[in-house]
Amino acid sequence: MRRGRRVWRIAALAACLALATLLGAVMGERWASGRARESQVDAVPRIAAVRDHADWCGRCPLIAATYQELVESHKNEPLLFVTLDITTDAKRNQAQQLADALGVRRVFDKPFESGIIKVIDRQSQEVLAVMRDRDDLPGVERVLASAFGKEP
């Protein structure tokens, strides 16, 4: 009989702890300041630089170096850098899911070309610039400067 009560008490204690944890999480969210939530929303970049990659693509290694330069030169900007890999069917499916999650799927569905970088306005789904080689870098930089309200 004592053993049954002990098991019941342990189960009740576990249920109370689970309820307290859930209640704390719900109430903590309600008590979070509106500013904290606003800053999280503001932290999501509107502009994305999307690199289309495939292992079999001859142009991809060349554009990867330029892409890395963009990452380094804009690391303090609100710019989202994404690589979509379409090397295999499985990776292409993952890339489509990632594009969905990031809000750039509509651009991904257009004729897909590997070895390029697209600068995309995630709100309007507009492609602002396309970079196929290093010669296109000044144009991409101008578009980014304009998007961030800076002098090109």
**59 and 125 in a common domain:** yes
The reported pLDDT for the residue numbered 35 is 43
**113 and 71 in a common domain:** yes
Domain enclosing residue 18, as ranges:
2-40
Quote the number of domains for the chain.
2
Where do the H-state alpha helices sit in the chain?
2-31, 34-42, 60-73, 89-102, 105-109, 137-147
Q: Report the distance separating Cα 107 and Cα 97, nearest Å.
A: 13
Q: Which of 42-46, 70-74, 89-93 has the lowest mean pLDDT?
A: 42-46
pLDDT one-digit tens code per residue, 78-137: 889 999 898 998 998 898 898 888 877 766 666 677 888 888 888 888 888 888 888 888
Which pTM does this prediction carry? Answer: 0.66
Q: How confident is the model at residue 40 (pLDDT cuts 50, 70, 90)?
A: very low
**122 and 110 in a common domain:** yes
**58 and 8 in a common domain:** no
